[in-house]
Amino acid sequence: MHRRSVLLGALASSVAALPFSRAMAQSNTSIRFYNYNLATAGIGAEATLKMLARFGSENRSVTVEGVGVPVSELMGRVQADMVAGMGPDVAQLAFTGLSYARDYLGAVALEDAVPAEELEAHLAGMIPNGARLGKLDGKTYALPYVFSTPVLFYNADIFRAAGLDPDTPPKTWEDVRQAAETIQTATDKTGLLTGIFGTTAGDWLYQGIVRSAGGQLMSDDRKTLTFASAEVIEGLSFLRSVAKSGAMQPVFDTGAIEAMASGSVGMYLQTSAVQNSLLRGSAGKWELRSASMPAFPGHDPMPSNSGSGLVMMTRDPAKQRAAWELMKFLTSDWAYTVITSEIGYLPLRPNAIESEEFLAPWIRENPLILPNLDQLTRLEPTVPYPGPNYAQIMQMVNGAAELAVFGPSDDVAGILTEAQRQAQSLMP
């Protein structure tokens, strides 16, 4: 039997009626929570455990089993455990897998489970551009949780050594190219690294590159791939020229983070989630600063979002109530104070940003977050590919883009066009 049939068949008996239980406090309820921050070593796991501990102390009738699963294994683990009848009740899923979670894993739309007034009240307290990230076809399948936008981190000491003004950071990709080439020429440091490519990059930052260049990955009806458009070809051709000059190096993933933290790189375009790692690396050694995502000529920068949302997977009414209480708590003013100050992700609640009780004092002391906050006003949601082959399509698109920028051939148009033809055959 097809995997989708197996999974949806397992859910069939509970799909028919979904009354939202208000009886959680009458008896103990246990829920399983799959979380990729718990699978990391350090600040992500520590902050998550801190939040779960406080939730437990304030919600004695709910027991949360936090299960750490690496993000690269999460969707497969959810599938396998659901078939075995032991899937999660709530899962922290990357936005790129949201369409698959809805169509093949039975993710519950919050509008179909949570009383309208409760959902409306909670979403009303969130930044609108953030609240819409978890929507598909008008319904909320993920409550936006931890995410960020692309931030251009830079080493102010290297800027000074190269004769550049750290008080006027690059605003356009042409500014970035000039600054990177100057750094390469005037110092022994690397001009530019990015988190656009690499085995752990996903496609969220690349989607921002595509949108900032004036293109889009697929048609609005999500049926036709369009990433080989003239706009995208022009944008990647520009990045290829920077790479060919030697000012942008093909160093990715943890190697790039470690190089930036060590003080050997002038600029690094990456998620704000690496901010605390860079702060630890720079402390007492060099000055870390940040700026917004650069713009391509003739276009405004359109930053996309990394990260994940909280997805309700359970069909049991009592567990749904417990899951919703957990989801609300993890996206509360207090939780975002922990998430932002201790991990580095964006806060999605204006009250948490502005209140002296929560983040306002921390933001004054940590201005590195300001470009990330500013970009919330023009955020472009990451678009999930449709169908069961979404991960293969993403890998094909990302691989072609990386080859176009760093590969041996200058035929950027040919590389993207052929990849688009092959990837289209994997679309539903």
Contact at 8 Å (CB) between 318 and 20?
no
pLDDT in tens, 324-347: 999 999 999 999 999 999 888 889
**For a pLDDT cut of 90, what percent of the chain falls above it?**
77
- Domain ranges for the chain, please list them: 29-147+306-378, 150-304+385-425
CA distance linking residue 262 with residue 274, whole number of Å: 13
Residue-level length of the chain: 428
Q: Which CATH architecture has domain 150-304+385-425?
A: 3-Layer(aba) Sandwich (3.40)
Q: Quick one: pLDDT at residue 4? A: 53
pLDDT in tens, 20-39: 555 554 568 999 999 999 99
Would 29-147+306-378 and 150-304+385-425 be classified into the same CATH topology? yes
Phi, psi of 419 (to 5 degrees): -65, -40
**Class of the CATH-defined domain 29-147+306-378:** alpha beta
pLDDT in tens, 241-275: 999 999 999 999 999 999 999 999 999 999 887 88
CA distance linking residue 98 with residue 112, whole number of Å: 16
pLDDT in tens, 100-119: 999 999 999 999 999 999 99
Q: Quick one: pLDDT at residue 14? A: 44
Segment among 228-237, 337-346, 395-404, 414-423 with least mean pLDDT: 337-346
Count of alpha carbons within 13 Å of 316, Cβ hemisphere only?
A: 15
CA distance linking residue 340 with residue 331, whole number of Å: 11
Quick check: helix, strand or coil at residue 329? helix
Q: Quick one: pLDDT at residue 251? A: 95
pTM of the model: 0.83
CA distance linking residue 409 with residue 222, whole number of Å: 30
